[in-house]
């Protein structure tokens, strides 16, 4: 049923998204001691996987809903994705963005024709402003991660990766709001062969790590991390999926994130954002701690995006 | 004959080099108003096209020559290519590098096992030191650009590009020592359909532009450009080919180079070095001056490399 759903979602969004390339790097394989397959969603439309879920959710709106537009809040990548998907489907997009969002992501939203509303950089302020806009305009609220249709859409990146590399033993995903890792874990169960999904999270925003331990959705008191996409917390739609299917979450330091980002930029010549470097750092950490677990195994990594503010690099 | 030669070179080096991907960007196509195909030699082994020529030249050495090793001088990318190709073929590589070469390129040469010799950053000093090493060790001198076997090897990037996109009307190449553009122009003649090769060069090192006007090989009094790979001048082996087959050379400012580099990094999420950005800048400049020439045409660009010192970025 879920498997059939995922395939339907994939067929639905396929005309609107790129089937992004899977890249390998012999230098990085040598460093990690395993075979790593990078699913390059940094090459996706609008520079991140988010367009998958946004497109799926919007294609499922009724005609009347489409006419009233959509509203969302996002620190950046989902904002751009909604703006671009809305443009493709001729829907009005209202986007609430925290004042702390990287300038490049605001520029992207503006270029795609989204209406931007700036708010204080807290989850409460974001949600309050989005609710207000929804009431005024009757726009449908799209949650960036805690929405079944969004979750299923995000899962199609792992689905494509597994079709290309069916024997992956692990798939690493970053954990922010939980949509990507929840969707990826569904894809891994239905399309993988004993494929485990592992999360990567900054120590500075390790809410998902703590949520898996406590069994409840935990928040972050602060989230002082360079991985600007991973400051959000899990939701009631994705947490049950994550609890059931994600085998572990590995936390990494800010220095590990920056070093992993530099490693991929220098060795693979591709631009990945800090939130994606978290996942690479998590694999580097785990493979150095448990080399025997990864030896001769195929490991997938969802490189979630490549939207970096070049005026504000960590090196 | 030349056509047959190029195919033989391609078959010879094929096991040792990557057939690099060709990428497109709808954002950049929209800006330029044409269809651009980026041949991504930044994803090549050692991060640049240079391994093609280096490998071809080394595979043509006699057994005795292989035993005595090879010597070359290079500001960076040819150095890394020779070191890596030599490692693959179990040959000793002596590499003369100017003191001004980016640190990342020296690190690469060292990792591949090349023996580095530092010299003053002038062409005369580079050649003198390479000659001295050649006399001491009997190593064969490999010129980075003025060598027929190197030229033919470099031409295989354009050959691959034309096999994937046979209807290219133009191929843009950077012009440094002249090896890449000479080889590319041979590939364009024999494998393209009325395909013109156009060079890109910094105003700060426009020796090839002036050489085509005067009909003689010109030097640069200074070469104060961020495009560190393009400071060298043409040679007697490649200049006749360039004179015969290259239709024009477009010069660009340092600001145009940096803006083009930023454009590709931001929109395509790939890391290209300043010498490659020169070519993108040249296309941007020419297409804005002569839009009707490029409209509805397919344009190839050889993205020559992606070796950038992340500690020393222009933004």
Report pLDDT for A1. 80
Write the CB contacts of A81 (distance below 8 Å, at least 6 apart in sequence): A45, A46, A48, A50, A51, A53, A54, A55
Q: Where does the pLDDT of residue A101 fall: very low under 50, low under 70, confident under 90, or very high at 90 and above?
A: confident
pLDDT over 80 (residue A75): no
Q: Where does the pLDDT of residue B268 fall: very low under 50, low under 70, confident under 90, or very high at 90 and above?
A: very high
Chain A: nearest CA to B56, how far in angstroms?
Answer: 22
Chain B: nearest CA to A237, how far in angstroms?
Answer: 32
B266 in A contact zone (CB under 8 Å): yes
**Interchain CB distance below 8 Å, A310 and B47:** no
A271 in B contact zone (CB under 8 Å): yes
**Overall average pLDDT of the B4-16 stretch:** 97
Q: Where does the pLDDT of residue B123 fall: very low under 50, low under 70, confident under 90, or very high at 90 and above?
A: confident
A304 in B contact zone (CB under 8 Å): no
A128 in B contact zone (CB under 8 Å): no
Report pLDDT for A251. 98
Q: Where does the pLDDT of residue B148 fall: very low under 50, low under 70, confident under 90, or very high at 90 and above?
A: very high
Q: Where does the pLDDT of residue A255 fall: very low under 50, low under 70, confident under 90, or very high at 90 and above?
A: very high
B21 in A contact zone (CB under 8 Å): yes
Residues of B with CB below 8 A from A19's CB?
A: none
Report pLDDT for A224. 95
Write the CB contacts of B77 (distance below 8 Å, at least 6 apart in sequence): B46, B47, B48, B50, B105, B229, B304, B305, B307
Q: What SS3 class is residue B69?
A: coil
Residues of B with CB below 8 A from A265's CB?
A: 271, 310
| Identified catalytic residue from A50, A105, A231, A237 | A50
Write the CB contacts of B174 (distance below 8 Å, at least 6 apart in sequence): B180, B181, B199, B200, B201, B227, B229, B230, B275, B276, B278, B279, B302, B304
Contact assessment for residue B72 and residue B232, using Cβ atoms and an 8 Å cutoff:
no
pLDDT tens-digit map of A189-229: 999 999 999 999 999 999 999 999 999 999 999 999 999 88
pLDDT over 80 (residue A102): no
Residues of B with CB below 8 A from A262's CB?
A: 310
Report pLDDT for B139. 98
Residues of B with CB below 8 A from A272's CB?
A: 269
Contact assessment for residue A295 and residue A33, using Cβ atoms and an 8 Å cutoff:
yes
Report pLDDT for A131. 96
pLDDT tens-digit map of B232-251: 899 999 999 999 999 899 99
**Overall average pLDDT of the B171-187 stretch:** 98
Q: Where does the pLDDT of residue A302 fall: very low under 50, low under 70, confident under 90, or very high at 90 and above?
A: very high
Report pLDDT for A109. 93
Q: In what order do the strands lie in the sheet with B93-98?
A: B115-119, B93-98, B70-73, B140-141
A18 in B contact zone (CB under 8 Å): no
**Overall average pLDDT of the A76-100 stretch:** 94
Facing A266 at nearest CB: one of B21, B269, B310: B310
pLDDT tens-digit map of A261-277: 999 999 999 999 999 99
Enumerate domains of chain A plus CATH numbers: 2-49+147-312 (3.40.50.1100), 50-141 (3.40.50.1100)
**Interchain CB distance below 8 Å, A262 and B42:** no
**Overall average pLDDT of the B108-130 stretch:** 92
Report pLDDT for A104. 77
**Interchain CB distance below 8 Å, B266 and A310:** yes
Name the closest residue on chain A to residue B21, using Cα atoms: A21
Average pLDDT, rounded, for chain A:
96
Chain A: nearest CA to B194, how far in angstroms?
Answer: 31
Q: Where does the pLDDT of residue A31 fall: very low under 50, low under 70, confident under 90, or very high at 90 and above?
A: very high
Q: Could you report the predicted ipTM of this complex, rounded to two decimals?
A: 0.94
What residues of B are annotated to the active site? Answer: 50, 75
Chain A: nearest CA to B156, how far in angstroms?
Answer: 21
> Which residues 84-123 of B are in CB contact (within 8 Å) with A?
104
**Overall average pLDDT of the B51-80 stretch:** 95
**Interchain CB distance below 8 Å, B269 and A271:** yes
Report pLDDT for B39. 98
CA distance A96 to A79: 8
**Overall average pLDDT of the B161-178 stretch:** 98
**Interchain CB distance below 8 Å, A269 and B42:** yes
Name the closest residue on chain B to residue A265, using Cα atoms: B271
Q: Which residues share a beta bridge with A33?
A: none
Average pLDDT, rounded, for chain B:
96
pLDDT over 80 (residue B267): yes
Report pLDDT for A121. 87
pLDDT over 80 (residue B104): no
**Of the candidates A220, A211, A214, the residue with the CA atom closest to the CA atom of residue A242:** A211
């Amino acid at each position: 049923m879920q498997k059939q759903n995922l395939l339907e979602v994939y067929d639905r969004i396929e005309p609107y998204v790129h089937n992004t390339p899977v890249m390998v790097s012999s230098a990085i394989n040598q460093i990690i001691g395993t075979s790593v397959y990078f699913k390059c969603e940094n090459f996706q439309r609008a520079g991140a996987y988010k367009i998958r879920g946004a497109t799926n959710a919007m294609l499922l709106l009724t005609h009347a809903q489409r006419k009233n537009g959509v509203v969302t809040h996002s620190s950046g990548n989902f904002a751009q994705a909604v703006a671009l998907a809305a443009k493709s489907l001729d829907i009005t997009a209202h986007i609430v963005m925290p004042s702390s969002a990287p300038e490049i992501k605001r520029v992207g939203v503006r270029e795609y024709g989204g209406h931007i509303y700036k708010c204080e950089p807290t989850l409460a302020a974001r949600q309050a402003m989005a609710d207000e806009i929804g009431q005024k305009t009757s726009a449908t609220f799209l949650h960036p991660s805690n929405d079944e249709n969004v979750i299923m859409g995000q899962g199609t990146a792992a689905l494509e990766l597994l079709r290309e590399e069916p024997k992956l033993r692990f798939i690493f995903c970053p954990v922010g709001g939980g949509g990507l890792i929840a969707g990826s874990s569904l894809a891994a169960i239905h399309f993988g062969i004993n494929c485990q999904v592992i999360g990567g999270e900054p120590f500075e925003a390790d809410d998902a790590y703590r949520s898996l331990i406590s069994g409840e959705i935990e928040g972050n008191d602060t989230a002082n991390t360079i991985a600007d996409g991973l400051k959000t917390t899990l939701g009631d739609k994705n947490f049950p999926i994550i609890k059931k299917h994600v085998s572990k979450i590995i936390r990494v330091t800010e220095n590990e994130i920056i070093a992993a980002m530099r490693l991929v930029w220098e060795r693979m010549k591709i631009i990945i954002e800090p939130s994606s470097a978290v996942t690479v750092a998590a694999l580097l950490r785990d493979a150095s701690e448990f080399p025997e677990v990864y030896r001769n195994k195929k490991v997938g990594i969802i490189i979630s995006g490549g939207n970096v503010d070049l005026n504000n690099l960590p090196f």
